[in-house]
Amino acid sequence: MDTHGRIYVAGHRGLVGSAIVRRLLAEGANNLLLRTHEQLDLTSETQVEQFFVGEKPEYVFLAAAKVGGIHANSTYPAEFIRDNLAIQTNVIHSAWKHGAKKLLFLGSSCIYPRECPQPIKEEYLLTGPLESTNEWYAIAKIAGLKMCQAYRQQYGFDAICAMPTNLYGPGDNFHPEDSHVVPALIRRFHEAKQAKAPSVSIWGSGRPLREFMHVDDLADALLFLMNDCSPDYGTNVGSGIEVTIAELARIIASAVGYQGELHFDKSRPDGTPRKLLDTSRLSNRGWAPKIELTPGLAETYRWFCNQLPAVADRSAQQ
């Protein structure tokens, strides 16, 4: 990838997109094409077509998506499948149609079956039923991955896919109801500390195992993939380290400085029991993560505190 080429980062204000932009700027990129949702609605075929006609991006990072945790997926299933299908269909098709040299599509580890051998290899895709709490998002992401494969097979379009594990870091969504587990716990513990609450309730038993990776590590991996030879399959991207939700909660509580009790609400869903990615395809090509979980979470909490007014404004608008 020519870092001085015309690079479009779709979703540049989100968790992943903002990390990609930081990484590109660090590499000296000086021709980034960035558009907010107000400037370019990616669910609109007409607007996306007009953007690609006018700007002619050479490289595309497709990091735009409607995302959220168990509550959001359960509450808005129609939006999760409709909006994500529209976004990726419009961007992938227009990128091919208007001569982009390479496109990287962001999938998700939730595309794999609920009951998967661990760690999860790329070839386990579509070998069993999905986790019901996020199947709408997962089905959309599977369709995006398959669309990249189809355009590669039929048209020779250099479209590749990366399936990241659970992410956290600066730029995350800290909405009190619709966020993923790490930002949700950071906000909950912070507010409990401020209110001097004696305890915090956490969804589920605390027993499920999860792998977490700092988003800046992901951005580094994505640039590695854009500069690497192009495989005709998706590539898992993860840290290789997993913790229980209970362990994660204790690490975050310590980072925040909350000293109250943690209560796990077993009446709430746990989600997938375990989800660890096999990242040997990527590690065998020479890439490895650098940021450890405990200092990474502490840094994320510091970012959250520095961004509190902006975080509150975004939450109120969602």
Catalytic residue annotation: 137
Whether residue 141 is annotated as binding a ligand: the answer is yes
Whether residue 11 is annotated as binding a ligand: the answer is yes
Q: What are the b/e assignments for 135-146, b being 16+ CB within 10 Å?
A: bbbbbbbbbbbe
Whether residue 33 is annotated as binding a ligand: the answer is no
Whether residue 268 is annotated as binding a ligand: the answer is no
Check residue 15 and give left, alpha or beta (phi > 0: left; psi -120 to 50: alpha). Answer: alpha
Whether residue 270 is annotated as binding a ligand: the answer is yes
Distance CA(70)–CA(214), nearest Å, equals 20
Whether residue 238 is annotated as binding a ligand: the answer is no
Question: Using the 8-state DSSP alphabet, how is residue 125 labeled?
Answer: T
Whether residue 144 is annotated as binding a ligand: the answer is no
Query: 124 vs 108, 134, 221, CA distance in Å?
Result: 13, 18, 22
Does the CA dihedral 222-142-72-63 come out positive or negative? positive
Whether residue 276 is annotated as binding a ligand: the answer is no
Whether residue 180 is annotated as binding a ligand: the answer is yes
Q: Phi, psi (5° rounding) for residue 308?
A: -55, -45
Q: Are 136 and 80 in contact (CB under 8 A)?
A: yes
Angle between helices 135-155 and 77-97 (to 10 degrees): 20
Whether residue 167 is annotated as binding a ligand: the answer is yes
Whether residue 13 is annotated as binding a ligand: the answer is yes
Which residues does the annotation place in the binding site for substrate?
188, 203, 210, 270
Binding positions: 11-17, 106-109, 141, 164-167, 180, 188, 203, 210, 270
Q: Per the annotation, where are the binding residues for NADP(+)?
A: 11-17, 106-109, 141, 164-167, 180
